[in-house]
Amino acid sequence: MFTYFSFYFCFGQKRRSVDKTVSADDNNMCAIDLLATVAGHLSFESGSSLMSVDKLIEDHRVKKEVPEEEKPLMPVAFSEENPYQGSLSPCGFSSVINGKLEDDAEGFSYSGATDSCQVSNFSQDIKPVIDGDAVVSVGSTSRTQVPSIGNCASHGLRDDVNLFSRDDDENFSGYVRPRGTKNSPRSVPRIGDRRIRKILASRHWKGSSRHTDTKPWRNYYLQNQRSYPIKKRKYYDHISDSITDDYRLRTKMHRGSRTVSSMKGQGASFVSSNSHVKLRIKSFRVPELFIEIPESATVGSLKRMVMEAVSTLLSDGHRVGLMVQGKKVRDDNKTLHQTGISQDNNHLDSLDFSLEPSSEMPQLLTSHPLEHAYKEMLPVCEAATTLDNVLESDHHDSALFPSDSLGNNNMTEDSKAMVPMALTDLSPSGTLCRKSKRSEQQQQQAAQRRIRRPFSVSEVEALVQAVEKLGTGRWRDVKLRAFEDADHRTYVDLKDKWKTLVHTAKISPQQRRGEPVPQELLNRVLNAHGYWTQHQLQLQQNVNKQQQETPSQTEALLLH
DNA sequence: CTTAGGG
DNA sequence: CCCTAAG
């Protein structure tokens, strides 16, 4: 009868606990890293250059010697009428992706009508009736940001910036490799604000991971939280959000009505005389969505990105939290009445539903807009540390986040402002705080299996694109090329995904599961797989053959 | 750390 | 996704 239950799709519930220790070193690191970051920002900004498309095309055609990086590039002859035209286009991957996004927007059934509908819901702030009574309205898309967990978002971000880059790896995806762990010399600094932001975003990861993180899965947690470049932070009002709440279902309780309107038609007997509480969820906020998209992109592609981002968020497993008068209700067995959710309760004028990170999700902190990051960095850090301590007492909910602090005072009506953003990259303090949490979290949940994150179609697209070009034996390069920003996708993941893709492509459509991958993509998978498999065989044969001849010839052949 | 494959 | 042998 209550929407509340409908929303209850939780997975894990372990709460991340907190490590209180934040050393002075860490604090210093904050400042230093930030400064360094800013410096990097400035220096990068001054050297931008864009190549014209024509120039690129020219370069591509004329270019004979393929950089080492590109070596096993498919033969030119093959490109005449091969299935890899796209990958050989002057703009390479970028252009393709961009093109794809736009095409998709035109009607490519990516996620179906339902999704589109949802998108429009989000953007238009309509209020669909859910589960009889509750009304959910989703708004403020204009401030929506892409989730750090998001994947599609990363594509969009990546792809639109370096639109006019060359086809070869070096210039195509010369991403900054800010993370200390990634020290590949193969990349060159990119120019433009996105890069800057990336630096900003990544610097302190380096710092934090340098201290404690050694295990891959920890890295996952770390990077998982990275948020993607933020563009218009200035719009966001001062943000203050609970430590655990990701999103928030704001509700208003309406008292007095004994019957649920939607049930009237089904017979009064069902409604009985029991007291019913009518919940009206005024808004459903989805924070931590950062979207950056070229102006030339279509509205449809934007919607799609948002949809994908939102889907990712929701599918990643969250649990619903309920707060009554600012106090979190943990006991699921309590009745609403016992909890104080009653039509007779006069002072109960608002509830708060919240989506909390499941056990597998990292703790999310919220922070202030980027513009304030510098000034408030340390204070925020300290504050958060304090919060951490309080968290330990397990009383944080009511103590630190009385209903007022949740922002329902002036936020219930409009869905504006309230765009909590994860205290991730932009504020070094976030790193510190999260790090401190994580350290204990690590002890508690030993090696935990990562969350399952089905590949989106656009991700598959990107993967296929990269593999078409790079082949099936260079997953690290594939990763760097197409998933540099998707920190939750390791090259092993990509390899595995490719494996399953090949398998998927071979089986009948009826046997496939999950989000359907466009046949066109699967065909490309098959083609590329075949091509590279053969390529490998040839290579092997050459080796064998040459081994019987002169070694020098062998080398020559291999190099060629 | 990367690859390649089985689990 | 995970785990691991191997390079």
A150-207 tens-digit pLDDT: 333 333 333 322 222 223 333 223 222 333 333 433 333 332 223 323 332 333 333 3
Q: Which of residues 211-240 of A touch strand B (CB under 7 A)?
A: 216
HSE-up of residue A240 (Cα within 13 Å, Cβ side): 16
Among the residue ranges A211-215, A321-325, A501-505, the one predicted with the least confidence is A211-215
Return the structure tokens found at A65: 């010697």
Nucleotide nearest to A488 (CA to C1'): C1
Where residue A524 falls among pLDDT bands split at 50, 70, 90? very high
Q: What percent of chain A has pLDDT over 70?
A: 27
Number of domains observed in the structure of chain A? 2
Residue A135 lies in a domain: no
CA of A495 to C1' of B4 (A): 9
pLDDT at A356: 65
CA of A496 to C1' of C1 (A): 9
Q: Residue A29 pLDDT > 50, yes or no?
A: no
The CATH number of the domain holding residue A511 is 1.10.246.220
| Domain span holding position A342 | 285-357
pLDDT at A277: 73
Residue A461 lies in a domain: yes
A72 touches strand B (CB under 7 A): no
Q: Residue A528 pLDDT > 90, yes or no?
A: yes
Strand C nearby residues, CB < 7 A: A 217, 447, 449-453, 488, 492-493, 496, 499-500
Residue A334 lies in a domain: yes
CB-proximal positions of chain B, under 7 Å: 1-7
pLDDT at A473: 92
Residue A307 lies in a domain: yes
**Overall average pLDDT of the A124-131 stretch:** 27
A498 touches strand B (CB under 7 A): no
A253-266 tens-digit pLDDT: 333 222 222 222 22
Domain boundary among A335, A357, A379: A357
Distances, alpha carbon A542 to alpha carbons A473, A492, A545, A546, A547, in Å = 17, 28, 5, 6, 8
Domain boundary among A325, A357, A389: A357
A167 touches strand B (CB under 7 A): no
d(CA A290, CA A367): 14
Instruction: Identify the residue whose Cα has the smallest distance to the C1' of B6.
Output: A496
Give the list of residues 6+ apart from residue A455 with CB closer than 8 angstroms, or none. A151, A463, A497
Nucleotide nearest to A455 (CA to C1'): C1
d(CA A163, CA A17): 43
The CATH number of the domain holding residue A329 is 3.10.20
A259 touches strand B (CB under 7 A): no
Q: Residue A521 pLDDT > 80, yes or no?
A: yes
Q: Residue A490 pLDDT > 90, yes or no?
A: yes
CB-proximal positions of chain C, under 7 Å: 1-4
Instruction: Identify the residue whose Cα has the smallest distance to the C1' of B4.
Output: A473
Nucleotide nearest to A500 (CA to C1'): C1
CA of A394 to C1' of C3 (A): 36
Residue A483 lies in a domain: yes
Q: Which pTM value belongs to this model? A: 0.33
Residue A324 lies in a domain: yes
Residue A292 lies in a domain: yes
Distances, alpha carbon A232 to alpha carbons A98, A307, A361, A369, in Å = 22, 19, 26, 9
A40-67 tens-digit pLDDT: 232 222 322 222 223 222 333 323 333 3
Residue A197 lies in a domain: no
